[in-house]
């Protein structure tokens, strides 16, 4: 089949785009999908992450295409017949040409946000860019993922209430503030490789199931 393309983007940095990209990639591979991670961020976090493991290679292929800029959508088309799912780790500035290019061919834009007002404001700007992309890519979907949430806090509850009012799907899946996520980077893998990482693994699996449902993929 032609690959489904998921862009992971947010105008603001530090919201966990690379974390979400790599965890989702690993979980999809565990389910038997052939996955490509496109590192479109000049910081190259995904590329460095995948190179950390000295033993077991990262389960998804990772390719750096940050230099493609406004031509990224053309570069992505070269891979659509080779993979089931392509994940694009976008740079933080949505005003840059790279995210705009990625959105032109994406089936889904996944927008991670931390439960802070500054991050939530950035979600609104990202949604505006997605709306503009619909002029070319009518089928594009948007979904918001609450990341680094601390359980049972008023800040977390307030963030959910605000995000539910946005013109995008707020995923039921939530990634909480857990040590398993940074530990998985050190291992060059995912939370599925972290001993004692079951709570984080369950969160990532819920995210994966929900994303596949949005894409209509079984």
Query: What is the predicted pLDDT for the residue at 1?
Result: 67
Residue 109 DSSP SS3: strand
Query: What is the predicted pLDDT for the residue at 196?
Result: 94
- Facing residues of 144 across strands? 111, 170
Across 8-20, b (16+ Cβ under 10 Å) vs e yields: bbbbbeebbbbbb
Query: What is the predicted pLDDT for the residue at 46?
Result: 97
Query: What is the predicted pLDDT for the residue at 92?
Result: 87
* Structure token pair of residue 26: 């690993």
Query: What is the predicted pLDDT for the residue at 132?
Result: 92
Residue 156 DSSP SS3: helix
Q: What is the mean pLDDT of each run of 10 residues along the chain (218 residues)?
A: 93 91 98 98 95 90 95 96 97 82 96 90 91 94 93 82 92 96 96 96 98 94
Q: Where are the domains of the chain?
A: 4-215
Check whether domain 4-215 has CATH 3.40.50.300, yes or no: yes
Query: What is the predicted pLDDT for the residue at 12?
Result: 83
């Amino acid at each position: 089949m032609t690959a489904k393309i998921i862009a992971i983007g947010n105008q603001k940095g530090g919201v966990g785009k690379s974390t979400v990209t790599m965890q989702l990639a690993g979980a999809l591979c565990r389910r038997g999908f052939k996955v490509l991670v496109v590192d479109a961020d000049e910081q190259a976090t995904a590329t460095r992450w995948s190179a950390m493991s000295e033993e077991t290679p990262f389960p998804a292929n990772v390719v750096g295409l940050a230099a493609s800029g406004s031509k990224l959508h053309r570069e992505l088309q070269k891979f659509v017949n080779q993979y089931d799912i392509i994940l694009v780790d976008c740079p933080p500035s949505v005003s840059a040409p790279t995210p705009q290019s990625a959105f032109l061919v994406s089936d889904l834009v996944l927008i991670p946000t931390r439960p802070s007002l500054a991050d939530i404001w950035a979600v609104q700007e990202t949604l505006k860019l997605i709306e503009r992309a619909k002029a070319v890519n009518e089928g594009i979907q948007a979904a918001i993922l609450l990341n680094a949430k601390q359980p049972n806090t008023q800040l977390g509850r307030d963030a959910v209430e605000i995000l539910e009012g946005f013109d995008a799907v707020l995923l039921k899946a939530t990634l909480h503030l857990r040590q398993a996520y940074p530990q998985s980077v050190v291992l060059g893998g995912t939370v599925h490789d972290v001993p004692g990482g079951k709570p984080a693994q369950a969160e990532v699996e819920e995210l994966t199931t929900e994303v596949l449902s949005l894409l209509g993929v079984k």
